[in-house]
Structure 1
């Protein structure tokens, strides 16, 4: 039988032990068997993606000679990745996740190693490069969720806030240094970032092979609308598993609230950041100053992740989620009245502060409460939901800045952020989420 965390009630003895051992559990994250290998693999993959990601547009333009063609490559790859992601969660839940991670890493080694070699010998054509990019996006969408889904079987659910905070800080660091490092590698040759990426994916695959996985995943089960999980050995059809994943999410009011609010926050924040970038470009600002806006947000995120990692497992998750919603709204208020560059940089730092804590609490709570056999599907459904609006944030920002001006555009996006914060504050389900040591008492479908 596959264990489920839904609806489990703790005895008074276990509850007391949870309180007394909370700090011990938090400190033991890095001593958890399998976690260091998992983190190494995930980090190597993230850096590898950043390295090859930097050179995509440059190489596209170099081999095609067309800005239009170069601009279409990220768009097409994003579309393919999102379409594949819809089915990716079901694929992840129906197969051994460790093997899927290794396969994804092997594909990364082959694709980016081939790209680097073809660039080195001058034989890479635009059609081949586009095919490589689309293939990479297809496999990333189908298999990329296996890494996060596997985490549920490695660490204790109460370690999720800390683990998410560590990931947020790591991602902020990679984002901050990824482009400069990628640029330095590109100076040595257009092929270098891709070869480095292939090497990093090789490291990720080797590390993944060392991960220890709980045997809880050796049995498959299916989700029933009543909220119970049967231990039947017969594997349901792909379509049935796919529907079960969507049903699990869409029948949970609290997950629907998180999807709606996160989608609004993503749209509002990304729209505001695109508006800032477009406005500064339109004003002809120095490229060096323009390039500091992104790292400013990363600095805020890195600072926020340090706070979240230290205090996240000690604070009530619901209150933290509501507080981060308020901060994300307040962060852009100065830009509703001024377009000063210094105000833009300051607001960019502030907007980065709440999101590590928000992600640690929301994603940590949801995935700690999601049964092992549904991890991939729930991640897939939530990813599609929260990114749906943000796909249009750049076009909305471009239209609004052009026709309404910078300040009026920021005001519109602040309204979107305000609506998201209001929904969070109005929800008793969200406000009453306790500290992570008591998450076992909460039912996602209550």
Structure 2
């Protein structure tokens, strides 16, 4: 049954507005701080090898603390963790500014700051994303996620040149701005009145996943029925699971979540492989860095403009149809990339092909988030983040070797093959086909590990 209640627009909702301002400030702060730190590493170390090692230390520290960070956000009031994220980010950056301004910044200090920044990012960096389903209604979650991704694309395009300009004025300036943006999160967290306790389930009746459930043969438009019949159960009632085992039980036995993860992984791998190979090939062709940068800008602008159609699509199409149409569109216009190396043609095709990408991400993200029990959201979001980071890293590594040994055309067609595989999963999976329209997302109930 469709929900006839029409919620206020997102920007008319106090909680969402303050959340959005805080999340945006942290996102900008992260982009500016990360690029400024990259610019700082080489002049301090004088070695590209050590500069790369500094970046590696940050990534390692972040990776090993993401799961503990997710566990923390499932145990501690998330409002408190938002304050901690704000304070930690500000303190680390303020200390970095002080050490640099005093002329004490050395390679060991650089490495220490890289590790500390990575620890803070891993433990607390996901907290604003984790609380979003507690801020907005289920029917508006896909729209909110689409808005966030559009914003992130804009920030990514603008932050690099802006940070470079600020760094040129004085290296301390981008770090100071980043620190102040982290501090702003504390000011925007206080007015949020939503219950951000990890034990608070917005649904009063989460659907237990029954291990003996059989797939329903009847036709039922409610996603409640789909989750109840299409998700294979976990354990019998009375069994207790430890903190980490619950994560794997969700993915292993809740088929809808597994299908969403599979589609997301295929799309992530395919697009990353294609973009990596195009950039590496253009470097081999001695194309100027400025023109190569235009390719990234073309795909970013395509994502931003394409997101403008998400509102219409969400009101007129089911989530399943949006998925199929969007992935088919992306695949259709990515295949021709394998048959050209001309910058103008590549830019046009990347622009067109990425138009529906935010629609795919927002539908998958919202559907997956609503299936996750609130008490497990931190751990599962962290796990998904690690998986997608691994998939992207694998695509980057394989892209270079595949380009070298298989050539440009074959490698790009392999990337398109992963997009085609994701489309087939959407067409064949009853769980994906059951994703309803946005105004029916209220019927999606979180799975429950008995």
Interval containing the TM-score (normalised by the shorter chain): 0.7 to 0.9
The answer (yes or no) to whether the contact 1:263–1:386 under 8 Å persists in 2 is yes
- Name the structure 2 match of 1:154: 135
Equivalent residue in structure 1 for 2:150, among 140, 159, 169 = 169
Between 383-392 and 151-160, report the one with greater CA deviation: 383-392
The answer (yes or no) to whether the contact 1:87–1:242 under 8 Å persists in 2 is no
- Name the structure 1 match of 2:248: 246
Structure 1 residue 194: deviation in Å?
A: 1.0
Q: TM-score, normalised by structure 2?
A: 0.86
- Structure 1 counterpart SS, 2:154: helix
In structure 2, distance between residues paired with 1:121 and 1:281? 40
Structure 1 residue 311: deviation in Å?
A: 3.5
- Name the structure 2 match of 1:55: 36
The answer (yes or no) to whether the contact 1:47–1:197 under 8 Å persists in 2 is yes
Sort the Cα spacing of 1:312 and 1:116 in 2 relative to 1 into closer, same or farther, 3 A: farther
The answer (yes or no) to whether the contact 2:269–2:391 under 8 Å persists in 1 is yes
The answer (yes or no) to whether the contact 1:249–1:378 under 8 Å persists in 2 is no
Q: TM-score, normalised by structure 1?
A: 0.87
- Name the structure 1 match of 2:125: 144
Structure 1 residue 384: deviation in Å?
A: 2.5
- Name the structure 2 match of 1:278: 280
- Name the structure 1 match of 2:179: 198
Are 1:301 and 2:303 matched, yes or no? yes
Query: What does residue range 224-263 of structure 1 map to in structure 2 within 5 Å?
Result: 226=210, 240-263=242-265
- Structure 1 counterpart SS, 2:431: helix
The answer (yes or no) to whether the contact 1:159–1:313 under 8 Å persists in 2 is no
Between 54-63 and 216-225, report the one with greater CA deviation: 216-225
Unaligned segments of structure 1, at least 5 residues: 1-14, 229-235
The answer (yes or no) to whether the contact 1:90–1:245 under 8 Å persists in 2 is no
Query: What does residue range 266-415 of structure 1 map to in structure 2 within 5 Å?
Result: 266-415=268-417
Sort the Cα spacing of 1:218 and 1:335 in 2 relative to 1 into closer, same or farther, 3 A: closer
In structure 1, distance between residues paired with 2:294 and 2:391? 26
The answer (yes or no) to whether the contact 2:207–2:446 under 8 Å persists in 1 is no
Count of paired positions? 419
The answer (yes or no) to whether the contact 1:263–1:387 under 8 Å persists in 2 is no
Structure 1 residue 313: deviation in Å?
A: 4.4
Structure 1 residue 198: deviation in Å?
A: 0.5
In structure 2, distance between residues paired with 1:392 and 1:217? 33
Q: Deviations over 1:103-127 (max 9, x none)?
A: 0111111111222232233221122
- Name the structure 2 match of 1:436: 438
Sort the Cα spacing of 1:291 and 1:365 in 2 relative to 1 into closer, same or farther, 3 A: same
Structure 1 residue 368: deviation in Å?
A: 2.4
Are 1:45 and 2:26 matched, yes or no? yes
The answer (yes or no) to whether the contact 1:322–1:421 under 8 Å persists in 2 is yes
The answer (yes or no) to whether the contact 1:271–1:393 under 8 Å persists in 2 is yes
Structure 1 residue 386: deviation in Å?
A: 3.1
In structure 2, distance between residues paired with 1:324 and 1:253? 22
In structure 1, distance between residues paired with 2:64 and 2:315? 35
In structure 1, distance between residues paired with 2:289 and 2:200? 55
- Name the structure 2 match of 1:29: 10
- Structure 1 counterpart SS, 2:344: helix
Structure 1 residue 174: deviation in Å?
A: 0.3
Sort the Cα spacing of 1:216 and 1:108 in 2 relative to 1 into closer, same or farther, 3 A: closer
- Name the structure 1 match of 2:222: none
- Structure 2 counterpart SS, 1:94: coil
RMSD of aligned Cα (Å) = 2.5
Structure 1 residue 385: deviation in Å?
A: 2.9
The answer (yes or no) to whether the contact 2:207–2:447 under 8 Å persists in 1 is no
In structure 2, distance between residues paired with 1:218 and 1:419? 37
In structure 1, distance between residues paired with 2:400 and 2:207? 43
Structure 1 residue 226: deviation in Å?
A: 4.6
The answer (yes or no) to whether the contact 1:263–1:388 under 8 Å persists in 2 is no
Q: Deviations over 1:33-54 (max 9, x none)?
A: 3111110110000000111121
